């Protein structure tokens, strides 16, 4: 079981946003997608989320064609955290997170347990009664993360679950960046397949199992962290000079700009 | 940690339950008072006994005059206030959820304008050009025309205001203003063509009035409005998800296009039926949902029922004011809701501009 993309291409007018991307997202692993602005990272995520439908190529989730799923059934195994969310209505944090249980019919009591567990996981339990529009950007992002965690909290009879995160750390302070990725990693270890768009190469180096590099809509590299994160490759991708050294703790590479 | 949080959530559910109960009781009391108000004072007890007799629960215990005043004049009018008030408030709430903006009042975004143009078309040309329609649709002609007008304008506004990036509030309000002007001009042309009798109906109607209430209008409007009032609550959870954003709702398994279409259709049915029987009664769909949201929050599972009851109560009270303030003459109810609603809207606009939420 996996999330398989074959030969995905996307045109927007005359512009090619993605060309012939193949990808397999496996349960149990955290895949980081890296690339400069405009490389097609968000487009790829939006295609996988079912938002863009005018792409060519085929997608399968757990061996079933993406389009053949009933929307609600698919929502039970595929959760998406968008980059920004513009909720302006005064929902409480609890109510926002509860929306993650919408595709499920697990009963109010179980839903509530899951919501509180998710709130605790993303470190926003203390905000349960706060109104969402009054939160800071980082708090909002953590609440939204709790919401998507709720959506795939329990393993479904539909098969393995998938979690797509679009820059989940963009508004977070240093400790919450690590907290969030540790959480994503934790989800992966529980058998969920996680894909996350990241800008921080070192976060990717520390937490990801696999890395996909996109450049101008093409997948230029895919593989294990140590294989992919080499100085020449990062330099050519981002156009800045870097060196890759061993992390002081030795477990993964560390990228430093020169 | 979660003990206190859980309590707050429960407290809210309890508050909702109580508010709904209190509002419903208040609405029934207002209904009885409203039936009693008029040139001939009728006590709440007598009003109740006529209503119960009418419903077949007991023998009428009041004089025939009282009975016929209540049952053929005042009761239909009060019931029409209940129907139109709930319908406008609930449709307002649904449209605000759909457009993800609390300023999306059916009147402000041109929906009422579209409905009224179509209805005026029927009033003025119904005897001649469109007489064949009347022979098919009978009592429902005006209502179906108003519904079609409401539906077309809602679709138009939503097409203009929605891009792949979501709904632009500026485009929505501007499109609404433009449509309002165009439909207003259309109504103007038709008014110009109208004869004296039609003119009187039109004036009356342009300012909004429940004066035309009979059992047949109550029945016709009631049928259509019930569809809206019963079906919109089924979309409560979908509307909640839509508030997060269309993409987010889609990720949660909501069939966004289908849900949007159905909500637009249901709101157009409700607004269309209301406009057809009572003319232009503005701002109910703006004020009522806003007040409910302030007290009970934006959750549509509570918002829709609470709007239905508070909307009915609001219009009953407005109608009582309209009937008594310059008695024996009658001030059109649309003027009253607009006098309350206009400043209310400006206040909302100012507070939202200040907090950069527009």
| Assigned domain for B104 exists | yes
CB contact under 8 A, B250 and A125: no
Q: Do A73 and B253 touch (CB under 8 A)?
A: yes
Q: Would residue B310 count as lying in a domain?
A: no
Q: What 3 state SS string does chain B have?
A: CHHHHHHHHHHHHHHHHHHHHHHHHHHHHHHHHHHHCCCCCCCHHHHHHHHHHHCCCCCCCCCHHHHHHHHHHHHHHHHHHHHHHHHHHHHHHHHHHHHCCCCCCCCCCCHHHHHHHHHHHHHHHCCCCCHHHHHHHHHHHHHHHHHHHHHHHHHHHHHHHEECCEECHHHHHHHHHHHHHHHHHHHHHHHHHCCHHHHHHHHHHHCCCCCCCCHHHHHHHHHHHHHHHHHHHHHHHHHHHHHHCHHHHHHCCCCHHHHHHHHHHHHHHHHHHHHHHHCCCCCHHHHHHHHHHHHHCCCHHHHHHHHHHHHHHHHHHHHHHHHHCCCCCCCCHHHHHHHHHHHHHHHHHHHHHHCCCC
Whether residue B165 is predicted with pLDDT greater than 60 in this model: the reply is: no
Provide ipTM, 2 decimals: 0.90
B186 and B237 together in one domain: yes
Please tell me whether residues B188 and B126 are part of one structural domain: yes
Query: Residues B12-25: pLDDT tens digits?
Result: 888 889 999 999 99
Residue B1 pLDDT grade (very low, low, confident, very high; cuts 50, 70, 90): very low
Count of domains observed in chain B: 2
Is the residue at B309 inside a domain? no
Same domain, B124 and B161: yes
Distance CA A131, CA B316 (A): 33
Which of B13, B41, B71 is a domain's end point? B71
Same domain, B7 and B128: no
A164 CB burial (10 A radius; 0-12, 13-18, 19+): buried
In terms of domains, do B257 and B283 share one? yes
Give chain A's length: 258
Q: Do A71 and B237 touch (CB under 8 A)?
A: no
Task: Report chain B residues whose CB lies below 8 A from the CB of A74.
Answer: 253
Mention every residue, 6+ apart, whose C-beta is less than 8 A from residue B137.
Answer: B144
- Give the domain-ending residue among B71, B106, B125: B71
**CA geometry: angle B89, B90, B93, nearest 5 deg:** 90
Range of the domain at B43: 1-71
In a domain, B192, yes or no: yes
Residues A94, B297: C-beta atoms closer than 8 Å: no
Residues B52 and B111 in one domain: no
CB pairs under 8 A between A and B: 99
For residue B3, name the pLDDT band (cuts at 50, 70, 90). Answer: low
Inter-residue contact A88 to B267 (CB < 8 Å)? no
Instruction: Give pLDDT, residue B164.
Output: 60
Whether residue B262 is found in the same domain as residue B344 = yes
pLDDT per residue as tens digits for the range B211-243? 888 888 899 889 999 999 999 999 999 999 999
pLDDT at A215: 92
- Tokens read off for B272: 């269309």
pLDDT range class, residue B89, cuts 50, 70, 90: very high
Question: pLDDT at position B355, please?
Answer: 67
Question: What value does the mean pLDDT take over residues B293-300?
Answer: 89
Min CA distance, A256 vs chain B (Å)?
Answer: 36
Q: Hey, are the CB atoms on A95 and B1 less than 8 Å from each other?
A: no
> Which of A57-61, B54-58, B127-131, B347-351 reaches the highest mean pLDDT?
A57-61
B184 shares its domain with B290: yes
pLDDT digit string, tens, across residues B113-123:
898 898 888 88
Are B208 and B332 found together in one domain? yes
Residue B270, domain CATH: 1.10.3470.10
Is B147 in the same domain as B287?
A: yes
Note the pLDDT of residue B166: 58
Say if B348 falls within a structural domain. yes
Distance between A206 CA and the closest CA of chain B, angstroms: 29
Query: Which residues of chain A approach chain B closer than 8 Å at the C-beta?
Result: 46, 49-51, 71-76, 78-80, 82, 85-92, 94-96, 99-100, 102-103, 112, 116, 119-120, 125-126, 128-129, 151
- DSSP code for A190: T
Residues of chain A where predicted confidence (pLDDT) is lower than 50: none
Domain assignment present for B308: no
B89 with B65, same domain? no
What is the location of CATH 3.40.50.300 in chain A?
A: 1-77+157-229
Residue in B with minimal Cα distance to A70: B253
pLDDT band per the 50, 70, 90 thresholds, residue B4: low
What span, in angstroms and rounded, lies between the C-alpha atoms of A194 and A189? 10
Model confidence at B288, pLDDT cuts 50, 70, 90, reads: very high
User: How high is the pLDDT of residue B6?
Assistant: 62
Q: Is residue B335 over pLDDT 70?
A: yes
The average pLDDT across B307-317 equals 95
- Is B248's Cβ below 8 Å from some Cβ in A? yes
Answer whether residue B206 shows pLDDT above 60.
Answer: yes
CA distance B211 to chain A (A): 37
| pLDDT over 70, % of chain B | 94
* Structural domain includes residue B233: yes
B231 and B335 both lie in a single domain = yes
Residue B356 — very low, low, confident or very high, per pLDDT cuts 50/70/90? low
CATH class for the domain made up of A1-77+157-229: alpha beta
Does the beta-carbon distance from B297 to A90 stay under 8 Å?
A: yes
A87, A99, A125 ranked by CB distance to B252: nearest: A99
């Amino acid at each position: 079981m996996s999330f398989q993309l074959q030969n995905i291409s996307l045109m927007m007018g005359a512009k090619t946003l993605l060309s012939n991307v193949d990808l397999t997202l496996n349960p149990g692993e955290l895949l980081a997608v890296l690339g400069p602005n405009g490389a097609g990272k968000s487009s790829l995520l939006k295609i996988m989320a079912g938002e863009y439908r005018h792409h060519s190529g085929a997608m399968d989730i757990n061996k079933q064609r993406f389009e053949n799923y009933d929307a609600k059934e698919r929502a039970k195994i595929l959760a998406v955290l968008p980059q920004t969310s513009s909720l302006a209505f005064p929902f409480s944090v609890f109510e926002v997170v509860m929306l993650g249980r919408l595709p499920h019919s697990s009963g109010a009591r179980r839903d509530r347990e899951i919501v509180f567990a998710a709130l605790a996981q993303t470190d926003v339990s203390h905000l349960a009664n706060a109104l969402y529009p009054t939160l800071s950007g980082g708090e909002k992002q953590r609440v939204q993360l709790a919401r998507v965690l709720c959506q795939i909290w329990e393993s479904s009879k539909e098969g393995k679950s998938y979690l797509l995160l679009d820059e989940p750390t963009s508004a977070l302070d240093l400790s919450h960046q690590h907290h969030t990725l540790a959480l994503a990693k934790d989800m992966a270890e529980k058998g969920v397949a996680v894909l996350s768009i990241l800008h921080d190469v070192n976060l990717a180096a520390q937490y990801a199992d696999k890395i996909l590099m996109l450049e101008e809509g093409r997948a230029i590299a895919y593989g294990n962290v140590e294989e992919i994160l080499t100085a020449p490759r990062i330099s050519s991708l981002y156009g800045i000079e870097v060196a890759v050294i061993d992390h002081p703790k030795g477990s993964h590479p560390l990228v430093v700009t020169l | 940690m979660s003990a206190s949080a859980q309590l707050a959530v429960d407290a809210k559910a309890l508050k909702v339950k109580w508010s709904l109960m209190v509002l419903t009781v208040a609405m029934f009391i207002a209904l009885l008072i409203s039936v009693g108000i008029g040139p001939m004072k009728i006590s709440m007890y007598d009003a109740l006994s006529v209503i119960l007799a009418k419903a077949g629960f007991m023998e009428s215990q009041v004089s025939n005059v009282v009975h016929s005043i209540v049952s053929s004049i005042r009761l239909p009018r009060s019931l029409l206030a209940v129907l139109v008030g709930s319908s406008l408030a609930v449709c307002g709430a649904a449209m605000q959820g759909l457009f993800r903006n609390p300023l999306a009042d059916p009147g402000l975004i041109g929906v009422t304008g579209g409905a009224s143009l179509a209805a005026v078309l029927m009033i003025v040309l119904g005897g001649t050009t469109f007489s064949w329609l009347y022979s098919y649709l009978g009592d429902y002609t005006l209502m179906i025309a108003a519904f079609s007008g409401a539906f077309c304008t809602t679709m138009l506004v939503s097409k203009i205001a929605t891009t792949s990036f979501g709904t632009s509030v500026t485009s929505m309000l501007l499109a609404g203003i433009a449509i309002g002007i165009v439909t207003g001009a259309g109504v103007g042309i038709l008014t110009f063509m109208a004869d004296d009798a039609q003119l009187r109906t039109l004036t009356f109607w342009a300012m909004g009035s429940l004066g035309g209430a009979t059992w047949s209008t109550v029945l016709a409007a009631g049928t259509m409005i019930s569809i809206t009032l019963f079906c919109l609550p089924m979309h409560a959870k979908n509307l909640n998800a839509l508030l997060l954003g269309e993409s987010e709702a889609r990720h949660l398994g909501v069939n966004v296009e289908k849900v949007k279409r159905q909500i637009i259709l249901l709101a157009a049915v409700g607004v269309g039926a209301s406009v057809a029987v009572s003319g232009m009664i503005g701002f109910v769909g703006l004020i009522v949902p806003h007040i409910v949201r302030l007290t009970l929050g934006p959750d549509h599972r509570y918002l829709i029922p609470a709007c239905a009851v508070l909307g009915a109560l609001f219009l009953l009270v407005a109608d009582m004011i309209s009937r008594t303030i310059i008695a024996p003459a009658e001030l059109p109810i649309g003027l009253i809701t607009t006098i309350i609603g206009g400043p209310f809207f400006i206040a909302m606009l100012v507070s939202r501009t200040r907090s950069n939420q527009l």
